[in-house]
Amino acid sequence: MDRAQESTESLRHKCAACFKQFNKVEHLVEHMKTSYHSPHEPICDICKKHCRFYDSLREHLIGPLPKAECAKQFSERGCNLCLKIFPRAEQLTYHRATCQSLPPNAGGRFSLVNKRIQAESGQIQGESSNKSNISAIAMDCEMVGGGQDGSLDLCARVCLVDEEEKVVFHCYIKPPIPITDYRYDITGIKPENLMDAMPLKQVQERIQQILYNGEAIWRIRLKGGKAKLLVGHGLDHDLQCLSMEYPPHLIRDTAKYVPLLKSSKASNSLKYLTQSFLGYKIQSGTHDPYEDCVAAMRIYKKMRNEDHSQSASLSVGEFLPENVVYARMKQKDLEKMSPEALLNISQSDFYCWCMDSSSQAS
């Protein structure tokens, strides 16, 4: 009888999201106040455990010490890219055909490596110009070295790609100070590539024209314009090297999106994210900015298409210092609630990209 009571007591103080257990109910309430569990977290399709990061969910399902029952079912019916588990193995076979991506240069598809750039416009011959109906643009920059030891990053190449993976803009850039290290093994950039390169000021104007759709910048910063979302990996660094700013609420950075971070809250590399979520390798030799743009865009679109509940999510650019509903309720009332009820009123502390899909539809 005592053991049964002890078991019931233990289950009563078990978090309905991450399954942590607490000796006292007030400890469970404090945990829920600070954990920000929500439907936007990665969730195991078998046991319904919430994980803060996809890396944590991957460990839960695959190892090195996975949960046995979940790992067994995942090995039979689970997708190793999106980590979803399907009712039947036939459904998994069909799903893999859509979840697995081919490298953007496979089968003779577009590559920047041997493409001639028009020095006058900075566009690639044969590729599309900017389209007003495109809602997101991916950007990637390649850096050469400046300064005495070549450690100063100077932007020498930039590529912008739309949601259809077509190049909107691509050019070489003439850095404002002398180059001391071309970093050829990584960038593939040679001195002759920069002989007729665009001045940085002109590049800035072209990129702003593409992203802002001709809107006044002050309107965009007040969230009132029709600017595009800017997608990329490590965009803070790219924008800094371009000497540009962009409204934070319009940036979708795969290096900062919470579910894509490591369990240590450090950023995963784009190379790792591409192999883990898209199923192919990039950056095996000289970096191709088009290839990196496409990878970042594909990862963003995959996260954007997640089917999450919209009821307890943040607005774009909003940050919650605490769970608002918890802050409004009395401690004694919270302690009377079941773990499931506590989970239902918990809110995410990051803006989930699935909200972009709902805003597009409206």
Residue 203 DSSP SS3:
helix
Does 336 reside within a domain? no
* Cα–Cα distance for residue pair 288/275, rounded to 1 Å: 16
* Cα–Cα distance for residue pair 18/35, rounded to 1 Å: 9
Does 42 reside within a domain? no
pLDDT in tens, the chain (362 residues): 455 444 554 457 899 999 999 999 999 999 999 999 999 999 999 999 999 999 999 999 998 889 999 999 999 999 999 999 999 989 999 998 899 999 987 544 445 544 544 433 455 443 444 444 569 999 999 999 998 888 899 999 999 999 999 999 999 999 989 999 999 888 889 999 999 999 999 999 999 999 987 665 655 555 556 789 999 999 999 999 999 999 999 999 999 999 999 999 999 999 999 999 999 999 888 889 999 999 999 999 999 999 887 655 666 666 666 778 888 899 999 999 999 999 999 988 899 999 898 666 54
Does 286 reside within a domain? yes
CA 197 to each of CA 86, 175, 188, 191, 192: distance values in angstroms, whole numbers, following the listed order: 51, 9, 15, 10, 9
Does 56 reside within a domain? no
Does 139 reside within a domain? yes
For residue 257, what is the domain's CATH number? 3.30.420.10
Domain count, the chain: 1
Segment 151-157 long-range contacts (CB within 8 Å, at least 24 positions apart): 152/177, 153/237, 153/241, 154/179, 154/241, 155/200, 155/238, 155/241, 155/242, 156/187, 156/189, 156/193, 156/194, 156/197, 157/187, 157/189, 157/193, 157/289
Does 341 reside within a domain? no
Specify the DSSP class assigned to residue 315: P
- Joined tokens for residue 39: 């439907």
Does 106 reside within a domain? no
**What range defines the domain where residue 122 resides?**
112-304
**Spatial contact of 144 and 167, defined as CB atoms under 8 Å apart:** no
Does 99 reside within a domain? no
CA 88 to each of CA 72, 185, 299: distance values in angstroms, whole numbers, following the listed order: 14, 46, 26
